[in-house]
Amino acid sequence: MFHYGKLQPFLDDESIEEIWINSPNRIFLARKGVSQLAPVIISAQEIRDITERMLAWSGRRVDLSQPFVDARLPNGARLHVVIPDITAEYWALNIRKKVLPAFSLQDLITAGSVSDAVAEVLEHLVSENINFLVSGATHAGKTTVLNSLLGSLPTGSRLITLEEVFELTPRVADHVALQIRQVNLEGTGEVSLRTLVRESLRMRPSHLVIGEVRGAEALDLLLALNSGIPGMASIHANSANDALRKISTLALLAGPNIVREFALEAVRENIDVVIHCKQSHDGVRRIVDIAVVRKSSINHLTAESLLFWDGRRYLPGEIDFDSVAKLQNVREFLLRKTSSLRMDNDRKHLSEL
């Protein structure tokens, strides 16, 4: 049984999405995307003690040689800590809770994050081993969507997930979860996401997933996908097109010998669909765009909306299917679904007049 002092009531409150501490009297809470000052004061020593208890369970540490740390709490919440002298005076904590456990696309439908018709499209794309990039800002629900997509993997799939901190909880029978390891006190022993990608290829994966792409591991993921292993990843970005630009830029961090043209081609050939997520003003996290990567763009990356949320409902985009070779196997299905959705929306529009 773990108890974290004055923070425990906020950890137990299911309406609270995130807790962050700037100083003993500046502790904030977020509910449905809206922040407020918590009615509590916790001394600097108490904050350190609570943090140490949290880290003890995870097996990770924070000290002057390692002033940042990410860790997972027993309830699945994610902890991020920064200490002085990186911060000005006090230990800074962020605790992001798992607000919406979602293990399938049906769970997303129940939460209002996606419609039945759009979920059916996504399920079909997953079954066809399409490579996905899930994008969005912080708190947009990227991990939740990623976890839900994994619930639609074909029976018999062998899934390998790679993360900085364990967050994904897919209900897949044959699943191995790997996470990075920080450097030890002697300055050795680090295991990076790049290393995990390379090692995972020896583990006979049928599907490979990186929880979040933030650095040079972008190139390793793209090369793994190029070997024929279907995969997914999430990335912080403001739109589907921004996500493509960002992952191609991150791939350049792998080394000075990686040129822009190679990175663009790697993204163009190995990412098929971008799912963009957004949190609305009322706190609902929703898939707002399902965009297909155009394969015919030579000098730049472009994603065209297959389905998008207009603020009230999902509408079909205008896709040139001749430019998206990877989707030819599902072309007829997608044409049928988008045409059906267009007719449904037309009928609803007429009934509202």
Domain boundaries, the chain: 5-96, 105-349
Where the chain has pLDDT below 50, the residues are 1, 349-353
- For 203-226, the pLDDT digits (tens) are 999 999 999 999 999 999 999 999
The conformation of residue 300, written as its DSSP 8-state character, comes to: S
C-alpha to C-alpha distance for 282 and 268, rounded to whole angstroms? 35
The fold adopted by the segment(s) 5-96 is Beta-Lactamase (3.30.450)
Asked if the domains at 5-96 and 105-349 fall in one CATH topology, the answer is: no
pLDDT value at residue 176: 98
The fold adopted by the segment(s) 105-349 is Rossmann fold (3.40.50)
pLDDT value at residue 346: 57
pLDDT value at residue 344: 67
C-alpha to C-alpha distance for 104 and 24, rounded to whole angstroms? 40
pLDDT value at residue 353: 39
- In sequence order, the 6+-apart residues with CB closer than 8 A to the CB of 197 are 162, 208, 210, 217, 220, 221, 224
The count of other CB atoms within 10 Å of the CB of residue 329 is: 11
Look at residues 182, 262, 180, 163 and name the one whose alpha carbon lies nearest to residue 219: 262
C-alpha to C-alpha distance for 189 and 58, rounded to whole angstroms? 17
pLDDT value at residue 318: 78
